[in-house]
Structure 1
Amino acid sequence: MPSWQGKSKGTTLGYGIFVATIKKFGVRPAYALLSVVALYYFLFSFKAASVIYGFYRRRLHYGRFSALLKLYKNYYRLGQVLIDKIAIMSGAGADFTFNFDGEENLRNITALQKGGLLLSAHIGSWEIAGHLLKRLNTCINIVMFDGEHQKIKEYLKSVTGETSAKIIVIKNDLSHIFEINEALKNNELVCMHADRFVEGNKTIEASFLGSPAKFPLGPFLLAVKFKVPVAYVFALKETALHYHFFSTHARDYSAYDKKEAIPQMLKDFTGEMEDKVKAYPEQWFNYYDFWKF
């Protein structure tokens, strides 16, 4: 079983140093500091390093040197994305620019007045994607595991302020299902990842990058249950201060029966994931063995 536990690394001290650097000197000096931090993780985060190195070697077929270079870039990109998130959401990201590829697809969903489900993965920055969705002038709900340590959450909230999106926390009592249902009934958009699960969740198997992997069943069941249009969205970092937001056309799976709809949806989703991972290989932030059962 994958060993991901729904928690992220980091300390309030570490975040505080980067926040102070961003506020006093800007984003680029924070990147310079990050290069040292990324090197530390590259050298000493053995478990995560072996997994992501294996991903580059076995799944994307890089040579040893190229895989090591991508490994360092992966840690560096992750740090950049976290810095960018703080800068943009705290109002210090005025120098950032964005492309919106497929924004009209999301506007078409909101025009249907049926609600909609936006599925993404741990590729690029979901937080920045959610922040950019406020352009749609509709209520955005982001479904997530309550995985960050409470002190870090409180600190980031004090820095970035309240998010414009509503957060729906996944809970063991399944009360989040009722919140999702209520949001869709109100013709709102619900955004969630569909590439990770914690132990005990129901899963569905699909081929991903040439080998079978397990995906959470929940997001696909929700789309079938509530019969809402589905789009696949991603926000990828392309240069130091530029992001590219992607959204597919809205897809209606209500014409399929349940046994056909979920496999078709999963096939569509993994296809979009593969395209983005191959195009932006250093921005898939999965630090556990994704293919291990």
Structure 2
Amino acid sequence: MNHHWASIGERGSVIGMTLMVAIQRYLGRWPFRIVLWPVILWYFVMHGTARRASQAYLQRLTPSLAKRPLARRWQSYRHFLAFGDTLMDKVAAWSGDIPDDKLAGKGIEHFVTAIAGGRGGLILVAHHGNLDVVNALAERHQALKLRVMMHTRNARKFNALLERVTGRPRPHIMEVSEITPATAQSLAEHINAGGYVVIAADRLPLSGERTQRVNFLGDAALFPEGPFWLAALLRCPLYALACVREDGRFRIDFDAIDDTQQLPRRQREAWIADAMQRYADQLAERVRRHPLQWFNFYPFWINDIDYPHDDAP
């Protein structure tokens, strides 16, 4: 069976999505959450691949869950509910409903400082927390020129719905599976002009691009080389960006990883291997602090063929 993340297509009808978004916008978080619980329960029961991958991940963080199947399933359901909560935050972010006093962390200050410096760069993100909150910050910084590289084909209905109901377009998005030499040249021009490119660094490529084994949360996982090769080719600053819910606010982290401007060609491969492991270590630290905000619901580690099985469908 194909467990590549891109094969797990978007689920849910446009009518259902529209109803959920309308409840969030016009009735608030608690009515949305009450409606969300049975929806997430249905998804939890019916989507075995995501459920088992969730339990394997949680058991990796808390090994004692291996002997407590009921506790493991309950934690997994909470994991799914946390993902549902991010849908509310997406709608709020793109509706402009997140006030400044809900934003915390040094990341905003670091972000503004980088923009003021005039140099563009490549920003690595992961499917941990809610980056839509950060993307919405683009509207608050008119000087920010942002391009987002992502795989959109399995989430087009929700993306289109989000734009329609909020009346706000998302940042310039480039389909990551369609990168060509001309695309790379365009990205270089964008960064040289002081712009930023955002790309996910925790999803396997779709068409056979190279990957590397890195240690992530104590075991081997495959991470894509593409974002790091791109950083080496573009000869630019490299950053990590993250946003998680913490104590009722959104904590934003924006940190420099490296600068490849002076990276010699002969050292690229060694630098890529080192940078990938450093990024994986930083990501693991964030994931351990906020485990239920990790949203890769598919077999992520090389050894995940042995992930927990249960009797549900």
* Partner residue, 1:33: 35
Contact 2:90–2:132 (CA<8 Å) still a contact in 1? yes
Q: Which amino acid aligns with 1:188?
A: G
Contact 1:170–1:176 (CA<8 Å) still a contact in 2? no
* Partner residue, 1:100: 105
1: CA distance, partners of 2:49 / 2:257? 38
Residue number among 153, 162, 166 corresponding to 1:156 in the alignment? 162
* Partner residue, 1:9: 11
Q: CA deviation at 1:168?
A: 1.8
* Partner residue, 1:67: 72
2: CA distance, partners of 1:23 / 1:270? 36
2: CA distance, partners of 1:292 / 1:267? 16
Q: CA deviation at 1:154?
A: 2.6
Is residue 168 of structure 2 the alignment partner of residue 166 of structure 1? Answer: no
1: CA distance, partners of 2:84 / 2:234? 37
Q: CA deviation at 1:286?
A: 0.7
Q: CA deviation at 1:144?
A: 0.7
More helix by share: 2
Alpha carbons of 1:209 and 1:149: their partners in 2 closer, same or farther (altered >3 Å)? Answer: closer
Contact 1:134–1:140 (CA<8 Å) still a contact in 2? no
Is residue 302 of structure 2 the alignment partner of residue 292 of structure 1? Answer: yes
Residue number among 202, 205, 228 corresponding to 2:210 in the alignment? 202
1: CA distance, partners of 2:53 / 2:18? 29
Q: Which amino acid aligns with 1:216?
A: P
Alpha carbons of 1:132 and 1:66: their partners in 2 closer, same or farther (altered >3 Å)? Answer: farther
Q: CA deviation at 1:272?
A: 1.3
Alpha carbons of 1:134 and 1:62: their partners in 2 closer, same or farther (altered >3 Å)? Answer: farther
Residue number among 159, 175, 188 corresponding to 1:181 in the alignment? 188
State the Cα deviation string for residues 47-77 of structure 1 (Å, max 9, x = none).
Answer: 2111110111134424234432321111111
* Partner residue, 2:309: none
State the Cα deviation string for residues 181-226 of structure 1 (Å, max 9, x = none).
Answer: 2311221011111000225222122111111111111100111111
Alpha carbons of 1:77 and 1:111: their partners in 2 closer, same or farther (altered >3 Å)? Answer: same
Greater displacement, 92-101 / 102-111: 92-101
* Partner residue, 2:276: 266
Q: CA deviation at 1:263?
A: 1.6
Q: Which runs of 5+ in 1 are unaligned?
A: none
Q: CA deviation at 1:235?
A: 0.7
Aligned partner of residue 162 in structure 1, secondary structure: coil
Give the % identical residues. 25
* Partner residue, 1:127: 132
Q: Which amino acid aligns with 1:4?
A: W
* Partner residue, 1:147: 153
Aligned partner of residue 199 in structure 2, secondary structure: strand
Greater displacement, 62-71 / 93-102: 93-102
Greater displacement, 5-14 / 210-219: 5-14
Greater displacement, 1-10 / 163-172: 1-10
State the Cα deviation string for residues 252-284 of structure 1 (Å, max 9, x = none).
Answer: 244552122212211221011101110111111
Structure-1-length-normalised TM-score: 0.89
